[in-house]
Amino acid sequence: MRKIPVTMATQHPDNAGIPPFVSGPFVSTAEEIGECMKCFQELGVHEYMWDWEGKFVDEAVMDRLLSKHHEFFKNNQIGKDVFLTFRIPNIWEEKAQHRLQRAFMNMISAEHAAENYGMHTPPLFEVILPMTTSADQLIQLQKMFSRIAEATENIFDMKSVLKHIELIPLFEEIGIIAHSDEILQKYVDFLQTEYNYKPEYLRVFIARSDPAMNAGLVPTMMTIKEAIAKYHAFGDRNGIEIYPWIGGGSLPFRGAINPENIREVIDEYKGTASVTIQSAFRTDYPIEDVKTAIDLLNLEIPKNRKQYLRVTAEECQQIEKFGQDAGKIFKSTIEEIADTINFVAAKLPSHRERVQHVGLFGYSRGVGKVTLPRAIKFTGALYSLGIPPEFISTGRVLRLAEQEGILPLVKKLYVNLKRDMVHAGKYLNKENLDLFCETNPEWKPIREDIREIEKILNIELGPETDAHYVHRNFTSNIYRRSKMGTDFSSDILEAAKLRKSLG
């Protein structure tokens, strides 16, 4: 059995500060090789995501790594000890067939590059498919790779051990996540029929940010716990080891995965095998804290893979009905304030070389009847206004759970609910929210959410330390400057540094 990576460094640009290996907060494509090496050598992560989704990439990655860092990789073999994993473009969402083709060819050529350097082969053998919605997508990709591998062998006479690849579905919508075990079953059935092959294991990736953007925080957390339980049950039925994977950022709305919260992360995401280490985690905290946190994750996460929360069939029905109702509350609120979110999000800096292929924000994400920026800028925009997205609809959703008698189930599945609300509350600017409510009644339900959260969880939300009050002052500046029509970009960045994440 191969080594399953626990920690994956990703290229998600949620950092507020300046990464230690570059001259500024923006990380160019040329600098990502250095970033990858720092993550392996200094931070001790097991895996690095080479991201082809919606961004430019250095396609000579394997040659650069093996030629420039030969001694390191002699003792830390790619594909055996450490891992470089491609996130490929979703060709059903993005017109990127040419980049998908190049990614597959890159994997095949990497096998021969590794041979030339006397390294483990194949070094690259699995890919992540973002926004997976069906088994048919996985099946089509598997067939496409097989045809490309066969054509490469015929044209260039390059024998390859890669006849098929390991596909890692990334599920990003709660309606899909809730039934994603059925997608896995159809895909495994295809592998057995087409290739006479039953995988020994499956890695399954669950997003934290995008489901929360589409349905709100609480139903997202509940659905994820339901899915983890279903994955393990699926694995038991099929005799396949399951390795669930959580992709989250530093702030609670995006996962609460940060160096100050590691014990809670280990406890919250029991049943998983891997977590992402995004840019803010690596950049916006003291380096020794980052290393200690990664070491702890690498040690402790594998111990909890079989310790997941069990969910009954009745609870699954409750979760799914509740998620639909809660999602409607969230979407209806977001639709009314989307213009403000988009206006502020456009002022947030971009930290990677993205391909602007779908609208102003690259991969724009639809929520209800509106289009929003991607999760980092969505989250960063609301934090910049002093109204963290964790609170939007959450108070009304908790009240609904209380009325339906499932609040104990919510608290059982969302282990750190109260802690996450308290943390987000440190960056709440109630004065800004009152000002929004005076000029636009669509903001009033969010003020109702705050009151319900404080009442139901018996907490008081607001700044606690001097740094939190300074953050509040920056968000007040942002509100006032936006009204004046003057630039507030410096206030956005200073506030982000205080909360240790852009978004």
pLDDT of residue 55: 81
What is the domain range of residue 453?
A: 313-499
- Do 171 and 151 belong together in one domain? yes
pLDDT of residue 149: 87
Is residue 1, in this structure, part of any structural domain at all?
no
**Residue 475 in contact with residue 467, Cβ under 8 Å?**
no
Tokens (6 digits) for 308: 């997941």
pLDDT of residue 474: 98
Q: Is the pLDDT of residue 369 over 90?
A: no
- Do 237 and 336 belong together in one domain? no
First and final C-alpha spacing in the chain: 37
- Do 29 and 99 belong together in one domain? yes
Is residue 437, in this structure, part of any structural domain at all?
yes
- Do 103 and 169 belong together in one domain? yes
Q: How confident is the model at residue 360 (pLDDT cuts 50, 70, 90)?
A: very low
Q: How confident is the model at residue 361 (pLDDT cuts 50, 70, 90)?
A: very low
Mean pLDDT score, 56-77: 94
Is residue 19, in this structure, part of any structural domain at all?
yes
Provide the b/e sequence for 290-318 (b: ≥16 CB within 10 Å).
beebbeebeeebeeebeebeebeeebbeb
- Do 479 and 367 belong together in one domain? yes
Is residue 84, in this structure, part of any structural domain at all?
yes
Percent of the chain with pLDDT over 90: 86
C-alpha distances in Å from residue 416, one per residue of 198, 255, 266, 267: 37, 11, 11, 9
Q: Is the pLDDT of residue 68 over 50?
A: yes
pLDDT of residue 354: 60
Torsion angles phi and psi, residue 177, rounded to 5: -55, -40
Q: Is pLDDT larger for residue 93 or for residue 262?
A: 262
Between CA 499 and CA 501 the distance in angstroms is: 6
CATH of the domain at 202: 3.20.20.60
Q: Which of 304, 327, 355 is the last residue of a domain?
A: 304
Task: Tell me the one-letter amino acid at 330.
Answer: F
**Residue 247 in contact with residue 277, Cβ under 8 Å?**
no
Q: Is the pLDDT of residue 363 over 50?
A: no
Q: Which of 248, 279, 304 is the last residue of a domain?
A: 304
Peptide bond into 130 cis (omega under 30): no
Between CA 400 and CA 407 the distance in angstroms is: 8
Is residue 432, in this structure, part of any structural domain at all?
yes
Helix (H) or strand (E) holding 167: strand 166-171
Provide the mean pLDDT of the chain.
94
Number of domains in the chain: 2
Determine how many CB atoms are found less than 10 A away from the CB of residue 98: 10
Q: Which residue has the tokens 């300046």?
A: 18
- Do 185 and 330 belong together in one domain? no
Q: Is the pLDDT of residue 358 over 50?
A: no
pLDDT of residue 353: 64
Q: Is the pLDDT of residue 452 over 50?
A: yes
* Angle at the Cα of 423 from the Cα atoms of 391 and 207, rounded to 5 degrees: 65
- Do 215 and 323 belong together in one domain? no
Q: How confident is the model at residue 365 (pLDDT cuts 50, 70, 90)?
A: low
Is residue 320, in this structure, part of any structural domain at all?
yes
- Do 129 and 205 belong together in one domain? yes
- Do 291 and 417 belong together in one domain? no
pLDDT of residue 359: 31
Q: Is the pLDDT of residue 20 over 80?
A: no
- Do 146 and 41 belong together in one domain? yes
Provide the b/e sequence for 350-373 (b: ≥16 CB within 10 Å).
ebbbbbeeeeebbbebebbebebb
Is residue 91, in this structure, part of any structural domain at all?
yes
- Do 352 and 251 belong together in one domain? no
218-236 pLDDT per residue, tens? 999 999 999 999 999 999 9
Is residue 2, in this structure, part of any structural domain at all?
no
Q: Which of 273, 304, 335 is the last residue of a domain?
A: 304
Determine how many CB atoms are found less than 10 A away from the CB of residue 198: 12
Q: How confident is the model at residue 439 (pLDDT cuts 50, 70, 90)?
A: very high
- Do 151 and 212 belong together in one domain? yes
3-class state of residue 13 by DSSP: coil
pLDDT of residue 384: 98
- Looking at residue 31, the DSSP 8-state letter turns out to be G
Q: Is the pLDDT of residue 121 over 90?
A: yes
pLDDT of residue 356: 42
Q: How confident is the model at residue 77 (pLDDT cuts 50, 70, 90)?
A: very high
Determine how many CB atoms are found less than 10 A away from the CB of residue 185: 14
Mean pLDDT score, 365-388: 89
